Chains A and B, each alone.
Chain A
Amino acid sequence: MAEISEEPPNPIPPQPQHTHQPSESTIRKAKPGLKRLTLTLSVLVSFIFAFPFLYKSVEIHRAPLPFREIDSLSSQIGSSNNHPSLSFPCHFQAIFVNFNNSNAETLESLIFDELTKLTSNTTSQCSTLSVKLVNSGPIWSLIGAVDFGNGDESVDEALAGVLGGEKVYSVVVVKGKSEEVKGVVGKYRHGWVVGRVSEVEAAERVAEMFVKVFVNGGKEEGFIHGEFMPVGADGRIVLSFNLLNSNPHDWVYDWDFQAIDDTLLAPIIKALGPVANISVESQVLYHTPKSSFSFWDDKRKGYIFSTKDLPFFVNSNEWHLDTSIAAGGRSKILQFVVYIPSAKECPLLLQLPNGEISKTNGFISPMWGGVIVWNPQGCLKDSESQHPIRQTISRQDLQKVFEVFMGQFRQLFGLKSDSHYFGSSGTYSLLASEKGFSEWELDFLARRHTCFNLHSCATTLGSLSRLVQSLPRMIIMDEIGKQVKYSLEAANLAQRNASLGLYDASAVSSRQARSLAEDAFFHPSIMSVSYYSFEHCFAVYSH
């Protein structure tokens, strides 16, 4: 730098006899000696000495991801979008009472043919199909002793006492004297048909109960849409119960939520344990008007709002429902709202499209939650006092409200609350359980959620592997590699458990697999880089 600092040639002649004569005194005449070489070498040596450290600090650490296993999982789970299928073994048990025992094998093959006919046309989940006919042995004699003339509940309990230990779906066919044939599905894993049935008809009914009710959950396709799978990506659901006093100047209501939580909600939460990890929160809100309008109807003596107003009922501006800490994470929050209208709109009634007034006075919004409108008794307002006293909703009213909640909760999971199933060979009445879900319904939910979770896990892992392979210079931390590994292990475990018929265990493993896959894909260290655009290298941040 100093050596080449000659003055550039300029048109003005240089100043004569400047005292220091910079140009002359700065140009060296001798050749550069050893000192310059030493200087250069010293810089080079220091650089070479530091080079290994520099190199090590820029190496990109990519944890190895098992791409082949991810691809094989994707192909195993199935590529079809709407009907993910996972195969479960279907083993059934049919118990015939009061039939003559001579043609047991033909009966068995009859039932088996019916089963195959029913499962062949739809996209079936059954990997293996087998039916066992029981017409002798201790179980048969115990069942023979049960009195089928009693009420359905007691018959159900009695049968549960006999069959309760096993996890096989059973149907008991009793040849009775009455002309009318009755089919009932119990709360556990069995059902029964009573009446004067021929063997062929009995076989049809049995097969229908097995396939349509037990395997397909009482739904036509045996399949739940994605909008009825309210479980969050980390396998948790938060149930948020809100009591909304729309105008506290009219009346203020409170509820004893703790008692209800202990008695009604706890068994349900325990029952749904394999499907989702549920936690419950509750709050009471004031000054929460709704944003739709209702009109007075003389005939029904109430203010009517119709199904057309439902999209506008929930007033997100003034209903501060999302105060949960879980709102920021990946858990799914389902809001259950009890709306108490103001005196100007009391009683508030929901009119269904067919003109009738809804009995439950509530509605659901899939993947969001449900709303129930509760009108205070007689709509009496304490008009004298400025500040109304706080009243508590009575226990019976609260119980009724929570029964409606249970129905809404079942609907949010895609299950209907009809008490009858209308099949092709006859109608069956479905018994309701105090846990909210009967055991065969829980099995059905576990199976469907397993399928859904495994499908989602395979999709996420597939996207992750494609992303990682497309960005070769992205750093992959060890944690992501571990999460992918555990996710694949959980998915394999879920598939194995499913093939063995262990629905609960497979649901838990599939939940874990999905949660780990989501954690890996949405890991903070790759989230910022996956949206990296090439223009950023040139400091173009326009979009």
Chain B
Amino acid sequence: MEAKEQSKKKELWYWNWLIGSVALRVILIYFSNNLNLASRPEISTPLTSLRRLAEGYWLKQSSMSPYAGSMYHGSPLLLSLLGPLTAKRIEGQPDHILCSLVFVIADVASAMFIRATGRNLQIAYGQSLKFLDLVKLSEKSDILPSGDIAALVYLWNPFTIVACVGLSTSPVENLAIILSLYGACRRIAPLAAFGWVMATHLSLYPVILIIPMILLLGYGPDTPPRKLFLQRKYVEVGDTPSNDRCQQGEAVDQPELPYVFSWRPVIHFLFWTSLWLVYVLVLCGVSVKQYGGLWELFKRTYGFMLTVQDLSPNMGVLWYFFAEVFDFFRNFFLIVFHGNILFMILPLAIRLKHRPFFLAFVYIVISSMLKSYPSVGDSALYLGLLGLFVNELADMKFSFFLFCGYIGVSLLSPVMHNLWIWRGTGNANFYFATAMAYACLQIILVVESVSAMLNHDRKLRKLSATKVLDGKT
């Protein structure tokens, strides 16, 4: 009874905060003209700017290719979805009010899915601990409801609010990624496939999330290392050699053993992926048939992302290399930056294969650091997902330093941009310094979170080993 009341109070608390964030967004949409959020390079990049989408839509309406003139570089499906909304204007309301409402809805939906995923992960975590007979651990410390926290962190993160109000399409991309991860956690193959295909289609970099998703579908949500389960199982089996067969039967009968890779969901997922992929390609092909076909589409969207043709400054590091320093060895630097993302895939997958959701988080951080046009919308996503691991990452070092660092960079970066572009008293080095600091912060975040997670696993192993020893003696 008490637990029920407590849980009801928690629900109310959550919903209050959610409605509060929606209200804040609506207020900012109406009253944030002075902030000029849509024209800041940290928020709107050549890939996510709504203004460019509106231009692409206008070009399409004038029966020209939406990619003519190198303004719009996104997906034609997004153009059909958001384009008509940008053209509609309502008297007395701010510009693009309908699109802003769409982004607010996308944010709220993302938060709901994060919460559901968090709940799922927490249930799985509880089950693993029970299996390992470490329930005492779960009751001893106050386990926070990571789903609610992560959802509220995502909603109230200033980066997310600014990305939503500042008319960038990041909320839609984030929604697709979160949808795919939710579907993979719940082993709903069609939903996961849809999310992954849409995420890859909108921005190329989520393609590397296929590995954690296959691991999620095969093994299930995050668990402690499988060695522990095997140790446990052998301990139980080896303990009473007489009841050998009995115990084995019992062990086998246990549902959802987290160390067995089940291929069925993966096959389903691959099937649905191919279905959705064909569907999306057919739709795109139909949209751009008159303007050069699919090859032209790929050149203008993915080719633009990979070859970094637009060197306007942003929060990343790539523009400075090509604009100020090394235009000769452009290919070399493109290979180095994208190769760094690819090199990280295999080692991390080997090391963190028992925690596929955390692996997805690490991939998202790395790709949002090294991608060609990063924005605050990308960091909004991983900072929200970071909240799902509050219990495991409680011991993370440098957390206060990172927090202050993020605040500092987000305050200094617009100032440096203003000094450079509008007042002319600074130069590109000022702005690039803040971009470099931002990249350093992200590197520290990745490194420390991975090490904190591995320490957590080690602690569990230690506790489980002591448990086993206690059990034996």
Q: Which A residues have a C-beta under 8 Å from some C-beta of B?
A: 1-2, 5, 20, 22, 25-26, 28, 35, 38-39, 42-43, 46-47, 50, 53-54, 57-58, 475
Contact = CB atoms under 8 A, between A and B. Distances in A.
A47 B346 CA distance: 12
Contacts of A2: 450-451, 454-455
Contact of B350 (A42, A53, A54, A57): A42
A28 B465 CA distance: 13
A20 B462 CA distance: 11
A5 B451 contact: yes
A54 B343 CA distance: 14
A43 B462 contact: no
B395 A35 contact: no
A54 B335 contact: yes
Contacts of A28: 458
Nearest to A2: B451
Given A2-B454, A28-B458, A38-B350, 18 more contacts: A1-B447, A1-B451, A22-B455, A26-B455, A35-B350, A35-B351, A39-B350, A43-B347, A46-B339, A46-B342, A47-B343, A50-B339, A50-B343, A54-B332, A57-B331, A57-B335, A58-B329, A475-B328
A24 to B, nearest CB: 8
A338 B462 CA distance: 99
Contacts of A39: 347, 350-351
Contacts of B331: 57
The residue among A2, A38, A47, A54 with the most chain B CB atoms within 10 A of its own CB is: A2
A5 B447 CA distance: 12
A489 B87 CA distance: 61
B459 interface: yes
B459 A46 contact: no
Nearest to A38: B350
A43 B462 CA distance: 29
Contacts, number: 52
Interface in B335-361: 335-336, 339, 342-343, 346-347, 350-351
Contacts of B454: 2
Contact of B343 (A22, A25, A46, A58): A46
B320 to A, nearest CB: 12
Q: Most chain-B Cβ atoms within 10 A of its Cβ — which of A25, A53, A54?
A: A25
Contacts of B347: 39, 42-43
A194 B451 CA distance: 110
Which 6 residue pairs are nearest across A and B when measured between Cβ atoms? A2-B451, A57-B331, A57-B332, A42-B346, A39-B347, A25-B459
Contacts of A43: 343, 346-347
Contacts of B451: 1-2, 5
Interface string B147-182: 000000000000000000000000000000000000
Nearest to B328: A475
Nearest to B329: A58
Nearest to B453: A2
A25 B454 CA distance: 11
A57 B329 CA distance: 7
Contacts of A20: 395, 459
B20 to A, nearest CB: 34
A25 B347 CA distance: 23
Contacts of A47: 343
30 contacts: A2-B450, A2-B454, A2-B455, A20-B395, A22-B395, A25-B458, A25-B459, A25-B462, A28-B458, A35-B351, A38-B350, A42-B347, A42-B350, A43-B343, A43-B346, A43-B347, A46-B339, A46-B342, A47-B343, A50-B339, A50-B343, A53-B335, A54-B332, A54-B335, A54-B339, A57-B331, A57-B332, A58-B329, A58-B332, A475-B328
Contacts of B342: 46, 50
Contacts of A5: 451, 455
A38 B335 CA distance: 24
B53 to A, nearest CB: 33
A57 B342 CA distance: 18
A537 B328 CA distance: 14
Nearest to B343: A46
Contacts of B447: 1
A535 to B, nearest CB: 14
A37 to B, nearest CB: 11
Interface in B119-143: none
A42 B346 CA distance: 7
A504 B123 CA distance: 93
Interface string B293-336: 00000000000000000000000000000000000110110011
A524 to B, nearest CB: 12
Nearest to B452: A2
B12 to A, nearest CB: 32
B335 A50 contact: yes
A31 B308 CA distance: 45
A475 B328 CA distance: 8
Interface string B443-473: 0000100110011001100100000000000
Contacts of A54: 332, 335-336, 339
A35 B339 CA distance: 23
A26 B454 CA distance: 9
Contacts of A42: 346-347, 350
A28 B450 CA distance: 17
Contacts of A35: 350-351
Contacts of A53: 335
Given A53-B335, A57-B335, A58-B332, A46 B455 contact: no
A38 B346 CA distance: 10
Contacts of B346: 42-43, 46
A46 B351 CA distance: 16
A483 B342 CA distance: 42
Nearest to A39: B347
A58 B458 CA distance: 43
A365 to B, nearest CB: 39
A25 B335 contact: no
A44 B174 CA distance: 33
B411 to A, nearest CB: 26
Interface string B279-298: 00000000000000000000
B262 to A, nearest CB: 23
Contacts of B462: 25
Contacts of B450: 2
B215 to A, nearest CB: 16
B201 to A, nearest CB: 26
B427 to A, nearest CB: 10
A43 B346 CA distance: 8
A53 B333 CA distance: 11
